Amino acid sequence: MTDIVLTTLNARYWHSAFGLRYLLSNLGNLSEQTTLLEFGINDNSLDVLAAILDRQPRIVGLGVYIWNVEPATRLVADLKRVRPDIQIVLGGPEVSYELEGQRIVELADYVITGEGDLAFAELCRQLLAGTPPLHKVISAPLPQFDQLRLPYELYTDDDIAHRVLYVEASRGCPFTCEFCLSALDIPVRQVDLDQFLAAMQTLLDRGARQFKFVDRTFNLNLRASRAILEFFLDRCEPGLFLHFEMVPDRLPDALRELIARFPDGTLQFEIGVQTFNPRVGELISRRQDNEKLAENFRFLREQTGVHLHADLIVGLPGETVESFAAGFDRLVALRPQEIQVGILKRLRGTPITRHDETWLMTYSAAPPYEILSNRLIDFPAMQRLRRFARFWDLIGNSGNFSESLDLLFASAGSAFATFTALSDAVFDHEQQAHGIPLQRLAEYVFRFLIDELAILPQMAAATLWNDYTRAGRHDRPHFLREFDLPHPTRPARDAATIPPRQARHVR
CA atoms within 13 Å, Cβ hemisphere of 42: 4
92-123 in b/e form (b: 16+ CB < 10 A) is bbbbbeebeebebbebbbbbbbbbbbbbbbbb
Please state whether beta strands 371-373 and 362-363 pair in parallel, antiparallel, or not at all (unpaired). antiparallel
140, 115 in Cβ contact below 8 A?
yes
Is there a contact between 258 and 242 (Cβ–Cβ < 8 Å)? no
* Block mean pLDDT (10 aa), the chain, length 507: 96 92 98 97 97 98 97 98 98 96 98 97 98 96 95 97 94 89 78 98 97 92 95 96 93 94 96 96 94 97 97 98 98 96 96 97 97 98 98 96 95 92 97 94 97 96 94 92 88 57 63
* Cut 0.85: pTM above it: yes
Q: What is the rounded distance in angstroms from the CA atom of residue 245 to the CA atom of residue 214?
A: 7
Is the CB of residue 190 less than 8 Å from the CB of residue 221? Answer: yes
Span between the terminal Cα atoms of the chain, in Å? 53
Distance CA 27, CA 373 (A): 45
The H or E element that residue 340 is part of is strand 338-343
Task: Convert the pLDDT of each residue in 44-59 to its tens digit.
Answer: 999 999 999 999 999 9
SS3 readout for 344-408? CECCCCCHHHHHCCCCCCEECCCCCCEEEECCCCCHHHHHHHHHHHHHHHHHHCCCCCHHHHHHH
Residue 19: its pLDDT value, please?
A: 97
pLDDT score, position 507: 54
Query: Tell me, what's the pLDDT at 185?
Result: 64
Q: Which domains are assigned to the chain?
A: 4-143 (3.40.50.280), 164-377 (3.80.30.20), 390-507 (no CATH)
Q: What is the pLDDT of residue 173?
A: 87
| Kind of pairing between the strands at 307-314 and 362-363 | unpaired
Query: In this structure, what DSSP letter does residue 113 have?
Result: E
The model's pLDDT over 86-119, given as tens digits with 9 standing for 90+, comes to: 999 999 999 999 999 999 999 999 999 999 999 9
| Displacement of CA 152 from its chain's centroid (Å) | 21
